[in-house]
Structure 1
């Protein structure tokens, strides 16, 4: 399946990378945290690791490590604004439940 991005998410990541001035793409991962058990992690990537999988959508590379891929396969990364709040949203078909704030999930 892989990882996909909406147009809005891709444009936002491109803007971040342009402002940063370097980087291969965006790493999407998970860590144990939050009220539901797992939290999403986003960070810029300058070098690939051996176990990384690379997906390209809308001209942007999304890098996922093998351990996180189990939880993220099929996820769509979106970006949106709701009132005064804006940020990335994760449309993850593997998530069985999410906390009220949307920061963590369980599978």
Structure 2
């Protein structure tokens, strides 16, 4: 599994983990939704499942479920602040298209 975090994304995830003593990791994956097919999910994980794949990056354990892994393998995750908005930004080499609003993506 090859997923990378920029320093900004890593720090944001460390901040989330520090606020929840039950969190074991950050879960990254996809869900079916939107007009293009999939959207990203980033959440805290209270447990790590048997079928999860994981990486450790400078104190952040990032877990990905087996179904999401082929869709997100190779993704670079960044965190950006723009004015009052702040969001994770995903650079995924597996995407073949995105919807007009940027909320969902397709894979080939």
Q: 1:42-73 CA deviation, whole Å, 9 max, x = no partner?
A: 11112111110011123211100111001000
Distance 1:99 1:25 in 2: 29
Match runs of 1:9-28 below 5 Å: 9-28=9-28
CA contact (8 A) 1:5 1:58 kept: no
Counterpart for residue 96 of structure 1: 96
Distance 2:80 2:22 in 1: 24
Residues 1:36 and 2:28 aligned together: no
Counterpart for residue 68 of structure 1: 68
Where does structure 1 lack aligned partners over 5 or more consecutive residues? none
Where does structure 2 lack aligned partners over 5 or more consecutive residues? none
Aligned residues: 107
Aligned residues: CA RMSD: 1.2
Q: 1:2-43 CA deviation, whole Å, 9 max, x = no partner?
A: 111100001001111111233111101111101211111111
Distance 2:77 2:100 in 1: 19
Q: Choose 19-28 or 64-73, whichever is displaced more.
A: 19-28
Q: Identify if the C-alpha distance between structure 1 residues 99 and 58 changes in structure 2 by more than 3 Å, giving closer, same or farther.
A: farther
Shift of 1:75: 0.5
Q: Choose 40-49 or 95-104, whichever is displaced more.
A: 95-104
